[in-house]
Amino acid sequence: MSVGSSIIRRYGDTDFVTGLRCVAILMVLLVHTGAFSEFGAIGQRVTDNGKFGVQIFFVIAGFTIYQNVSTSDYKQYLIRRIFRVVPVYYFFILIGFCLLWFDVLQPNYWMQISGAKPDFYNVVMHFSLISSWDDAIAASVIGVEWTIPVEVFWYVFLPLMVRPSDGAVKVFLAIAMLTLLLYSARKLLGSDYLNWGSRFSPLKYGLYFYLGYLSGSVRSKVKPYIVMNVVISAACVLFYAWLMVNYHEGNDAFFALITAALIVCVQPQSWLAAALTIRPFLFIGSVSYSFYLIHMIVIYLLGAVIQGEPLSNLRLFVVVFFITLCLSIVSYKFIELPSNRFGKRFATRF
């Protein structure tokens, strides 16, 4: 069996979601390397839109919650999710703290603007998975780790708020109520209410998880009308392309809606499923979690090592991509897979 075959994860008729993970991680890498920012206004817009790959990940996470809760009880589901996410997160957070502690890395952007230090409080908050509630430290170690406590929060609480048996209408009503609550809090208390969680709060991103959950609920109930699916899929792809060359701060909602629509509509036999399930997409999507946690460490280390003439942004993108991909394969095989297997075995005890 080849390395690729042993790594690629299969989910049957939703294999294309792994391809969407590939798209999301490449978008994140675009913005963090500034890949096309040297290619004029359009290149800058494409690069800036890369940050919305996080919203795509959140919608996919909500869909994953629906799938897992639908096939196992809450306790088993939660154990498997924790062992899927937390061990590799701990590993790279520990590496980040060590690099900062021994001055191998200089404080990143978020540490500089907040004045955060790699101190005991920072360590405890990160390893307790509540660091996203404090903006000052949420992204202070490897720059992207704030999303993991956000995901874990919704892994725990979303299945307690809505059930697979609730149906799309009840999930939609829950989304509407959460939207109203967040809007009211922002209007009454201001965007930086209580100075906690205003940027990285799990509550701020809850709508994306609900949207992903709703897409799973709808997908399980709608009939795969081929013509409708083809039309909606084509419209989503065209809208996605248009968004990528037209940057706006509100694009996050549109990328999330596109992702949810694709989850509902794309069928295994469709042209878009075929495009998203080519082996490179499946391969990168399968290791996207390790890739996400590693890529900023690689960027920081390259910045510390390369002196004098820096790489162009596009070259930096290519170099970081290949280095991170190699490290992600190692991480996936020796950290993610063993912890996943242990989590599955442990969950069977319940």
Give the per-residue pLDDT at 1: 45
pLDDT in tens, the chain (350 residues): 455 567 788 778 899 999 999 999 999 999 999 999 999 999 999 999 999 999 999 999 999 999 999 888 899 999 999 999 999 999 999 999 999 998 888 888 888 888 889 999 999 999 999 999 888 899 999 999 999 999 999 999 999 887 766 666 776 777 677 667 766 666 665 555 434 446 888 888 888 998 999 899 888 887 766 667 788 899 999 999 999 999 998 899 999 999 999 999 998 888 999 999 999 999 999 999 999 999 999 999 998 888 767 789 999 999 999 999 999 999 999 999 999 999 988 888 76
The answer to whether 221 and 168 have CB atoms below 8 angstroms apart is yes
User: Under 8 Å CB-to-CB from 104, ≥6 apart: which residues?
Assistant: 98, 301, 304
**How far is the C-alpha of 3 from the C-alpha of 286, rounded, in Å?**
12
Q: Which residues of 193-212 are buried (b: 16+ CB within 10 A; e: fewer)?
A: eeeebeebbbbbbbbbbbbb
Structurally, the chain folds into a number of domains equal to 1
SS3 content of the chain, % helix, strand, coil (to 5): 75, 0, 25
User: Under 8 Å CB-to-CB from 270, ≥6 apart: which residues?
Assistant: 226, 229, 230, 233
Give the per-residue pLDDT at 277: 95
Give the per-residue pLDDT at 10: 79
Tokens of 158: 């979303």
Which domain does 62 fall in, by range?
3-348
**How far is the C-alpha of 117 from the C-alpha of 174, rounded, in Å?**
38
Tokens of 238: 């065209």
Nearest in space to 201 (alpha carbons), one of 121, 130, 144, 127? 130
The answer to whether 27 and 285 have CB atoms below 8 angstroms apart is no
Give the per-residue pLDDT at 229: 79
Q: What single-letter amino acid sits at 64? A: T
Q: Is 250 helix (H, G, I), strand (E, B) or coil?
A: coil
Q: Is 227 helix (H, G, I), strand (E, B) or coil?
A: helix
- In DSSP notation, 173-195 reads HHHHHHHHHHHHHHHHH-TTGGG
Nearest in space to 181 (alpha carbons), one of 158, 152, 204, 148? 204
User: Under 8 Å CB-to-CB from 129, ≥6 apart: which residues?
Assistant: 86, 148, 149, 152, 153
User: Under 8 Å CB-to-CB from 83, ≥6 apart: which residues?
Assistant: 339, 340, 342, 343, 344, 346
